[in-house]
Amino acid sequence: MNVRDTLKLEQVPVSDREAEEAAFAKWNTLAKPIGSLGRIETMIARMAGIQGTADVQAKPRRLIVACADNGVVKQGVAATPPDITAVMAEQIAGGKSAVALMAKWNDCDMKVYDIGMFRRGHCSALIDCHLMDGTNDFSVEPAMPETVAIEAIRLGIEAVKTAARDGIKLLATGEMGIGNTTTTAAVAAALLNVDASVMTGRGAGLTNEAYERKIGVVQKAIEDHQLSASDPLKILSSVGGLDIAMLAGVFIGAALYRIPVIIDGVISSVSALLAERLVPGVRYAYLASHMSSEPAASLILNALEMTPFIDAGMRLGEGTGAVALMPLIDMAIDLYQHLITFDDIGMVP
């Protein structure tokens, strides 16, 4: 099944080279050594290319959080009971979680989606896009039908369409789902054709015994489902999660609507990689926030040819790493817009 054709997607835009070059040219007029702000300058120029204008904007902005459960937790691969997903989704949507407080501090609104939790949430701010009561146990059967995977991707694209209609200039991605480091390890290992032991981390703190079991479950599932990197949709539907599927749609949508989108941690990054494999070219819209402590993170970002700005050993999820990048973006834009120029001080660069 071809995702682009099935969803009737328009041609993916490319980075606006003129806008990007204009942004670099503006940086070079500012009163500082040429290129001395390094990747901060590159980030703003990249945003110009994504937005299609050298007048780079980062507000208003929105964090999209996809919440879902994973049937594979039945195999003892998670240290936390699965009912925590709905509890935390309610806390995020209700403005009480870590990322909710960080988003408020950064003047970032949030949209939190139930894309497939075991239990429905009871917070009115939680958006109901429920497709399944959690995925199937992928160690026994495919995680979800391909039609459901496609629908989750479509809902992610629709979330971005809504954001574009609301005038959003910057997106961030987050997720909540017990067991989703297991689905991430499986999807990443299959997409990059590496052994499960390389991609699988301890998640929220597994014992040695549970960690070894987790690696075995992931590797056996890849073999049992006969997964190939050439069929990313089958990988998603066989061993993925509904949160990964929806976020892949968010990354695709961001590219279609020319909105810069910040990759969060390892679950978000594998969604970004999956999106690029499903619809080649969408990664032009990506910004990488931080280096997750999960072992798959660096391999996934290397595959996307991206270097994150933050390396703080973070592994909370929810979108915390993505939101943590926003103050740096704001500072960079303020410099870009207001720093004195060489002309102001009568100098030639």
Please tell me the predicted confidence (pLDDT) of residue 193.
Answer: 96
Please tell me the predicted confidence (pLDDT) of residue 218.
Answer: 96
Per-residue pLDDT tens over the stretch 132-153:
999 999 999 999 999 999 999 9
Q: Please give the order of strands across the beta sheet that includes 261-263.
A: 126-128, 109-116, 61-68, 170-176, 261-263, 286-288
Please tell me the predicted confidence (pLDDT) of residue 275.
Answer: 98
Q: Tokens 């959003």 appear where?
A: 168
Beta strand 170-176 with 261-263 is: parallel
Q: What is the signed CA dihedral for 175, 161, 275, 97, rounded to 10 degrees?
A: -10
Which residues in the chain land under pLDDT 50? none
pTM summary value: 0.97
CA geometry: angle at 81 spanning 201 and 292, to 5°? 30
Q: Which of 64, 17, 4, 67 is nearest to 254 (CA)?
A: 64
The structure tokens listed for 245 are 């599927």
Q: Which of 58, 3, 69 is nearest to 253 (CA)?
A: 3
Please tell me the predicted confidence (pLDDT) of residue 347.
Answer: 79
CB 343 within 8 A of CB 29: yes
Q: What are the φ and ψ backbone dihedral angles of 99, each rounded to 5 degrees?
A: -70, -30
Please tell me the predicted confidence (pLDDT) of residue 78.
Answer: 87
Give the domain ranges of the chain: 61-326
Tell me the angle at which helices 242-256 and 180-192 cross, rounded to the nearest 10 degrees: 60
Q: Which of 12, 52, 6 is nearest to 256 (CA)?
A: 12
CB 172 within 8 A of CB 262: yes
What b/e readout covers 216-244, taking b as 16+ CB neighbours within 10 angstroms?
bbbbebbeebebeeeebbbbbbbbbbbbb
Please tell me the predicted confidence (pLDDT) of residue 14.
Answer: 97
Q: Tokens 């892949």 appear where?
A: 248
- Residue 36 CB neighbours (<10 A): 10
Q: Tokens 């007029």 appear where?
A: 29
Q: Which of 20, 276, 294, 318 is catalytic?
A: 318
CB 284 within 8 A of CB 49: yes
CB 317 within 8 A of CB 337: no
Asked if 90 is an active-site residue, the reply is no
What's the DSSP call for residue 118?
S
Please tell me the predicted confidence (pLDDT) of residue 205.
Answer: 75
CA 213 to chain centre: 27
CATH of domain 61-326: 3.40.50.10210
CB-side neighbour CA atoms (13 Å) of 285: 33
Listing DSSP states for 192-229 in one string gives: HT--HHHH---TTT--HHHHHHHHHHHHHHHHHTT--T
Please tell me the predicted confidence (pLDDT) of residue 295.
Answer: 86
In sign, the C-alpha dihedral spanning 112, 116, 118, 124 is: positive
Please tell me the predicted confidence (pLDDT) of residue 208.
Answer: 86
In sign, the C-alpha dihedral spanning 135, 178, 68, 222 is: negative
> What gap in Å lies between CA 247 and CA 241, rounded to an integer?
10
